[in-house]
Protein backbone atom coordinates (compact mmCIF):
# COMPACT_ATOMS: atom_id res chain seq x y z
CA UNK A 1 0.00 0.00 0.00
CA UNK A 2 1.18 3.55 -0.73
CA UNK A 3 2.39 4.84 2.71
CA UNK A 4 0.26 7.98 2.28
CA UNK A 5 -2.71 5.63 2.27
CA UNK A 6 -2.21 4.83 5.95
CA UNK A 7 -3.56 8.31 6.69
CA UNK A 8 -6.70 8.11 8.80
CA UNK A 9 -9.72 9.63 7.04
CA UNK A 10 -12.51 11.36 9.01
CA UNK A 11 -16.01 11.09 7.54
CA UNK A 12 -18.54 13.35 9.26
CA UNK A 13 -22.30 12.73 9.18
CA UNK A 14 -21.50 9.06 8.59
CA UNK A 15 -24.68 7.60 10.05
CA UNK A 16 -27.21 9.14 7.67
CA UNK A 17 -29.99 7.25 5.96
CA UNK A 18 -29.32 4.46 3.51
CA UNK A 19 -27.88 6.24 0.46
CA UNK A 20 -26.69 9.30 2.39
CA UNK A 21 -23.33 10.60 1.21
CA UNK A 22 -21.27 10.17 4.42
CA UNK A 23 -22.51 6.65 5.00
CA UNK A 24 -21.82 5.57 1.41
CA UNK A 25 -18.39 7.24 1.38
CA UNK A 26 -17.46 5.31 4.54
CA UNK A 27 -18.39 2.00 2.87
CA UNK A 28 -16.48 2.84 -0.33
CA UNK A 29 -13.31 3.82 1.56
CA UNK A 30 -13.43 0.67 3.69
CA UNK A 31 -13.85 -1.43 0.52
CA UNK A 32 -10.63 0.15 -0.71
CA UNK A 33 -8.92 -0.97 2.51
CA UNK A 34 -8.46 2.61 3.77
CA UNK A 35 -8.66 3.46 7.49
CA UNK A 36 -11.82 5.44 8.33
CA UNK A 37 -12.98 7.28 11.44
CA UNK A 38 -16.76 7.56 11.04
CA UNK A 39 -18.35 10.36 13.02
CA UNK A 40 -21.89 9.85 14.28
CA UNK A 41 -24.14 11.80 16.61
CA UNK A 42 -25.17 8.90 18.80
CA UNK A 43 -24.61 5.22 19.48
CA UNK A 44 -27.38 3.38 17.64
CA UNK A 45 -27.84 0.56 15.09
CA UNK A 46 -26.30 2.71 12.36
CA UNK A 47 -23.17 3.26 14.48
CA UNK A 48 -22.99 -0.48 15.18
CA UNK A 49 -23.26 -1.23 11.44
CA UNK A 50 -20.41 1.18 10.65
CA UNK A 51 -18.27 -0.45 13.34
CA UNK A 52 -19.10 -3.93 12.04
CA UNK A 53 -18.03 -2.78 8.55
CA UNK A 54 -14.60 -1.89 9.94
CA UNK A 55 -14.77 1.84 10.72
CA UNK A 56 -13.54 3.41 13.93
CA UNK A 57 -16.78 5.00 15.15
CA UNK A 58 -16.60 8.24 17.15
CA UNK A 59 -19.58 10.05 18.65
CA UNK A 60 -19.66 13.84 18.54
CA UNK A 61 -21.52 17.04 17.74
CA UNK A 62 -20.19 19.16 14.87
CA UNK A 63 -21.39 22.27 16.73
CA UNK A 64 -19.11 21.51 19.72
CA UNK A 65 -15.52 22.68 19.10
CA UNK A 66 -14.06 20.28 21.70
CA UNK A 67 -15.84 17.35 19.98
CA UNK A 68 -14.58 18.47 16.58
CA UNK A 69 -11.02 18.74 17.92
CA UNK A 70 -11.27 15.19 19.31
CA UNK A 71 -12.69 13.89 16.00
CA UNK A 72 -10.13 15.55 13.78
CA UNK A 73 -7.02 14.82 15.91
CA UNK A 74 -5.09 12.00 14.28
CA UNK A 75 -6.84 12.35 10.88
CA UNK A 76 -5.09 13.77 7.82
CA UNK A 77 -8.05 13.81 5.40
CA UNK A 78 -11.61 14.91 6.06
CA UNK A 79 -15.00 14.67 4.39
CA UNK A 80 -17.17 17.42 5.82
CA UNK A 81 -20.91 17.20 5.28
CA UNK A 82 -23.98 17.18 7.50
CA UNK A 83 -27.75 17.48 7.23
CA UNK A 84 -29.31 20.66 5.87
CA UNK A 85 -29.79 22.58 9.12
CA UNK A 86 -29.58 26.04 10.68
CA UNK A 87 -26.16 25.47 12.30
CA UNK A 88 -24.41 24.48 9.06
CA UNK A 89 -22.14 27.53 8.74
CA UNK A 90 -21.11 27.40 12.39
CA UNK A 91 -20.20 23.71 12.02
CA UNK A 92 -18.28 24.40 8.83
CA UNK A 93 -16.23 27.24 10.33
CA UNK A 94 -15.61 25.23 13.50
CA UNK A 95 -14.27 22.42 11.30
CA UNK A 96 -12.03 24.88 9.40
CA UNK A 97 -10.64 26.36 12.63
CA UNK A 98 -9.87 22.91 14.04
CA UNK A 99 -8.40 21.61 10.76
CA UNK A 100 -6.06 24.63 10.66
CA UNK A 101 -4.94 24.00 14.21
CA UNK A 102 -4.46 20.25 13.83
CA UNK A 103 -3.10 20.41 10.28
CA UNK A 104 -4.65 18.23 7.54
CA UNK A 105 -3.69 17.22 4.00
CA UNK A 106 -7.18 17.45 2.48
CA UNK A 107 -10.64 18.71 3.40
CA UNK A 108 -13.40 17.64 1.02
CA UNK A 109 -16.27 20.06 1.50
CA UNK A 110 -19.85 19.21 0.52
CA UNK A 111 -21.59 22.21 -1.03
CA UNK A 112 -24.37 22.79 -3.58
CA UNK A 113 -24.31 23.56 -7.28
CA UNK A 114 -26.35 26.73 -6.87
CA UNK A 115 -23.30 28.30 -5.20
CA UNK A 116 -21.69 28.50 -8.67
CA UNK A 117 -24.38 31.07 -9.59
CA UNK A 118 -24.03 33.10 -6.38
CA UNK A 119 -22.03 36.24 -5.58
CA UNK A 120 -22.24 39.20 -3.18
CA UNK A 121 -24.76 40.84 -5.55
CA UNK A 122 -26.58 37.67 -6.49
CA UNK A 123 -27.76 35.47 -3.68
CA UNK A 124 -30.86 33.32 -3.08
CA UNK A 125 -33.48 33.29 -0.29
CA UNK A 126 -32.40 29.78 0.82
CA UNK A 127 -30.60 30.00 4.18
CA UNK A 128 -28.79 26.74 3.33
CA UNK A 129 -27.48 28.02 -0.01
CA UNK A 130 -26.33 31.26 1.64
CA UNK A 131 -24.51 29.25 4.29
CA UNK A 132 -22.82 27.06 1.66
CA UNK A 133 -21.72 30.18 -0.21
CA UNK A 134 -20.28 31.72 2.97
CA UNK A 135 -18.73 28.41 3.97
CA UNK A 136 -16.95 28.14 0.60
CA UNK A 137 -15.73 31.71 1.01
CA UNK A 138 -14.33 31.11 4.49
CA UNK A 139 -12.67 27.84 3.47
CA UNK A 140 -10.99 29.69 0.59
CA UNK A 141 -9.67 32.33 3.05
CA UNK A 142 -8.53 29.59 5.47
CA UNK A 143 -5.68 28.47 3.23
CA UNK A 144 -6.63 24.83 3.91
CA UNK A 145 -6.14 22.22 1.16
CA UNK A 146 -9.80 22.10 0.12
CA UNK A 147 -11.66 20.16 -2.58
CA UNK A 148 -15.18 21.46 -3.19
CA UNK A 149 -18.04 19.19 -4.21
CA UNK A 150 -21.07 20.97 -5.70
CA UNK A 151 -23.83 18.52 -6.58
CA UNK A 152 -27.21 19.48 -7.97
CA UNK A 153 -30.39 18.06 -6.39
CA UNK A 154 -30.12 14.44 -5.17
CA UNK A 155 -32.18 11.51 -6.49
CA UNK A 156 -31.97 9.60 -3.17
CA UNK A 157 -32.61 12.47 -0.79
CA UNK A 158 -35.13 14.50 -2.82
CA UNK A 159 -36.79 12.69 -5.72
CA UNK A 160 -37.17 9.36 -3.91
CA UNK A 161 -38.83 10.62 -0.69
CA UNK A 162 -40.73 13.51 -2.32
CA UNK A 163 -42.06 11.81 -5.47
CA UNK A 164 -42.08 8.17 -4.24
CA UNK A 165 -45.47 8.22 -2.48
CA UNK A 166 -47.42 9.99 -5.30
CA UNK A 167 -45.79 7.83 -8.01
CA UNK A 168 -46.72 4.75 -6.00
CA UNK A 169 -50.30 5.83 -5.21
CA UNK A 170 -51.35 7.95 -8.21
CA UNK A 171 -48.74 7.40 -10.94
CA UNK A 172 -47.88 11.10 -10.73
CA UNK A 173 -44.85 13.25 -9.99
CA UNK A 174 -46.32 16.21 -8.13
CA UNK A 175 -43.90 19.13 -7.93
CA UNK A 176 -44.06 22.91 -8.56
CA UNK A 177 -41.20 22.88 -11.08
CA UNK A 178 -43.21 24.38 -13.99
CA UNK A 179 -41.49 23.94 -17.37
CA UNK A 180 -38.01 24.25 -15.83
CA UNK A 181 -35.42 21.66 -16.72
CA UNK A 182 -33.55 19.70 -14.08
CA UNK A 183 -30.81 17.08 -13.98
CA UNK A 184 -30.69 15.28 -10.60
CA UNK A 185 -27.65 13.30 -9.50
CA UNK A 186 -27.47 10.10 -7.50
CA UNK A 187 -25.75 10.22 -4.09
CA UNK A 188 -24.16 6.90 -5.12
CA UNK A 189 -22.27 8.91 -7.77
CA UNK A 190 -21.60 11.83 -5.41
CA UNK A 191 -20.13 9.40 -2.86
CA UNK A 192 -17.98 7.74 -5.53
CA UNK A 193 -16.53 11.15 -6.40
CA UNK A 194 -15.86 11.97 -2.73
CA UNK A 195 -14.27 8.56 -2.06
CA UNK A 196 -12.06 8.82 -5.16
CA UNK A 197 -10.82 12.23 -4.05
CA UNK A 198 -10.21 11.10 -0.45
CA UNK A 199 -8.32 8.02 -1.58
CA UNK A 200 -5.76 10.19 -3.40
CA UNK A 201 -6.41 13.89 -2.76
CA UNK A 202 -3.23 15.45 -4.18
CA UNK A 203 -4.38 15.82 -7.84
CA UNK A 204 -7.69 17.34 -6.73
CA UNK A 205 -6.62 19.99 -4.20
CA UNK A 206 -8.11 23.41 -4.94
CA UNK A 207 -10.58 22.00 -7.47
CA UNK A 208 -14.34 22.47 -7.56
CA UNK A 209 -16.37 19.55 -8.91
CA UNK A 210 -19.88 20.24 -10.18
CA UNK A 211 -21.98 17.10 -10.30
CA UNK A 212 -25.19 16.43 -12.23
CA UNK A 213 -26.87 13.49 -13.88
CA UNK A 214 -26.39 12.78 -17.60
CA UNK A 215 -29.43 14.67 -19.02
CA UNK A 216 -31.10 18.00 -18.32
CA UNK A 217 -34.81 17.81 -19.16
CA UNK A 218 -38.17 19.17 -18.13
CA UNK A 219 -40.43 17.26 -15.79
CA UNK A 220 -42.35 15.58 -18.65
CA UNK A 221 -39.02 14.15 -19.80
CA UNK A 222 -38.26 13.02 -16.27
CA UNK A 223 -41.70 11.39 -16.03
CA UNK A 224 -40.97 9.48 -19.27
CA UNK A 225 -37.82 8.07 -17.64
CA UNK A 226 -39.92 6.98 -14.64
CA UNK A 227 -42.45 5.38 -17.07
CA UNK A 228 -39.70 3.53 -18.96
CA UNK A 229 -38.18 2.25 -15.71
CA UNK A 230 -41.50 1.09 -14.21
CA UNK A 231 -43.17 0.07 -17.48
CA UNK A 232 -46.33 1.99 -16.53
CA UNK A 233 -47.52 5.52 -17.25
CA UNK A 234 -46.15 8.15 -14.91
CA UNK A 235 -47.14 11.77 -15.56
CA UNK A 236 -45.96 15.12 -14.26
CA UNK A 237 -48.44 17.31 -12.41
CA UNK A 238 -47.30 20.92 -11.97
CA UNK A 239 -48.70 21.80 -8.54
CA UNK A 240 -48.82 25.40 -7.32
CA UNK A 241 -45.85 26.68 -5.29
CA UNK A 242 -48.31 27.78 -2.58
CA UNK A 243 -49.75 24.24 -2.24
CA UNK A 244 -46.22 22.83 -2.12
CA UNK A 245 -45.21 25.24 0.67
CA UNK A 246 -48.43 24.50 2.61
CA UNK A 247 -47.69 20.75 2.33
CA UNK A 248 -44.14 21.18 3.63
CA UNK A 249 -45.36 23.24 6.58
CA UNK A 250 -48.09 20.70 7.34
CA UNK A 251 -45.45 17.94 7.36
CA UNK A 252 -43.77 19.85 10.22
CA UNK A 253 -40.37 20.29 8.56
CA UNK A 254 -37.99 22.72 10.30
CA UNK A 255 -38.28 26.31 9.04
CA UNK A 256 -34.69 26.25 7.68
CA UNK A 257 -35.39 23.18 5.53
CA UNK A 258 -38.79 24.46 4.39
CA UNK A 259 -37.29 27.76 3.21
CA UNK A 260 -34.56 25.86 1.40
CA UNK A 261 -37.02 23.55 -0.39
CA UNK A 262 -39.34 26.43 -1.33
CA UNK A 263 -36.36 28.30 -2.84
CA UNK A 264 -35.21 25.19 -4.68
CA UNK A 265 -38.63 24.85 -6.29
CA UNK A 266 -38.63 28.55 -7.30
CA UNK A 267 -35.19 28.19 -8.86
CA UNK A 268 -36.25 25.01 -10.68
CA UNK A 269 -39.28 26.83 -12.07
CA UNK A 270 -37.01 29.68 -13.21
CA UNK A 271 -34.78 27.26 -15.13
CA UNK A 272 -31.86 27.62 -12.73
CA UNK A 273 -31.50 23.83 -12.33
CA UNK A 274 -31.00 23.40 -16.10
CA UNK A 275 -27.45 22.19 -15.71
CA UNK A 276 -25.07 19.66 -17.17
CA UNK A 277 -21.67 19.04 -15.59
CA UNK A 278 -19.20 16.22 -16.12
CA UNK A 279 -17.68 15.98 -12.61
CA UNK A 280 -18.80 12.38 -12.03
CA UNK A 281 -17.25 11.14 -15.28
CA UNK A 282 -14.11 13.24 -14.86
CA UNK A 283 -13.30 12.09 -11.33
CA UNK A 284 -14.50 8.47 -11.39
CA UNK A 285 -14.12 7.61 -15.08
CA UNK A 286 -17.73 6.39 -15.18
CA UNK A 287 -20.83 8.24 -16.38
CA UNK A 288 -23.43 9.50 -13.90
CA UNK A 289 -26.53 7.38 -13.27
CA UNK A 290 -29.65 8.31 -15.26
CA UNK A 291 -33.10 8.84 -13.73
CA UNK A 292 -34.29 5.70 -15.50
CA UNK A 293 -31.51 3.59 -13.98
CA UNK A 294 -32.18 5.07 -10.55
CA UNK A 295 -35.94 4.43 -10.67
CA UNK A 296 -35.33 0.85 -11.92
CA UNK A 297 -32.97 0.23 -8.98
CA UNK A 298 -35.58 1.55 -6.52
CA UNK A 299 -38.70 0.29 -8.33
CA UNK A 300 -40.20 -1.15 -5.13
CA UNK A 301 -40.08 2.22 -3.39
CA UNK A 302 -41.89 3.79 -6.36
CA UNK A 303 -44.70 1.21 -6.12
CA UNK A 304 -43.09 -1.39 -8.38
CA UNK A 305 -43.02 -1.86 -12.12
CA UNK A 306 -45.35 -3.78 -14.44
CA UNK A 307 -44.29 -6.81 -16.45
CA UNK A 308 -44.78 -6.59 -20.24
CA UNK A 309 -48.00 -8.68 -19.95
CA UNK A 310 -49.42 -6.50 -17.14
CA UNK A 311 -48.52 -3.39 -19.12
CA UNK A 312 -50.37 -4.67 -22.23
CA UNK A 313 -53.39 -5.70 -20.11
CA UNK A 314 -53.47 -2.22 -18.49
CA UNK A 315 -54.01 -0.92 -21.98
Ligand X SMILES: NC(=O)c1ccc[n+]([C@@H]2O[C@H](COP(=O)([O-])OP(=O)(O)OC[C@H]3O[C@@H](n4cnc5c(N)ncnc54)[C@H](OP(=O)(O)O)[C@@H]3O)[C@@H](O)[C@H]2O)c1
Question: Is position 15 an interface residue for ligand X (rule: CB under 6 A)?
Answer: yes
Binding window for ligand X (CB under 6 A); candidates: 13-21, 160-168, 212-220, 223-231: 13-21
State how beta strands 146-151 and 208-211 pair.
Answer: parallel
Q: What's the longest Cα–Cα distance across the chain?
A: 66
Binding window for ligand X (CB under 6 A); candidates: 61-69, 173-181, 216-224, 269-277: 61-69
Question: Is position 20 an interface residue for ligand X (rule: CB under 6 A)?
Answer: yes
3-state secondary structure of 253: coil
From 7, 136, 157, 174, residue interacting with ligand X (rule: CB under 6 A): 157
Binding window for ligand X (CB under 6 A); candidates: 78-86, 234-242, 249-257, 303-311: 78-86
State how beta strands 77-80 and 106-110 pair.
Answer: parallel
From 110, 198, 223, 295, residue interacting with ligand X (rule: CB under 6 A): 110
- The C-alpha atoms of residue 150 and residue 143 are separated, in whole angstroms, by 19
Measured at the CA of 310, the angle between CA 305 and CA 314, to 5 degrees, comes to 105
Rounded least distance, CB 307 to ligand X, Å: 32
Question: Is position 204 an interface residue for ligand X (rule: CB under 6 A)?
Answer: no
Taking CA atoms, 281 is separated from 214, 285, 286, 290, in Å, by: 10, 5, 5, 13
Question: Is position 171 an interface residue for ligand X (rule: CB under 6 A)?
Answer: no
Question: Is position 127 an interface residue for ligand X (rule: CB under 6 A)?
Answer: no
Note whether 188 and 251 are within 8 A (CB).
Answer: no
Binding site for ligand X (CB under 6 A): 13, 15-17, 20-22, 41, 61-63, 81-85, 87, 91, 110, 112, 128, 151, 153-154, 157-158
Amino acid sequence: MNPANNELILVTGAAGRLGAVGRTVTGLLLERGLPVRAMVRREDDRAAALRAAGAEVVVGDLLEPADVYRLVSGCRRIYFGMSVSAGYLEASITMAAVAREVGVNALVNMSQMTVSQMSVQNTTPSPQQRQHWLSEQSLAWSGLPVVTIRPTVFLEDFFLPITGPSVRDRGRIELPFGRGKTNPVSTADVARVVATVLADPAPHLGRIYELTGPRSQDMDGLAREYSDALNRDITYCDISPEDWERGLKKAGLPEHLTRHLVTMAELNRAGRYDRLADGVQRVTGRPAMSVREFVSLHAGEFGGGLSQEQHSAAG
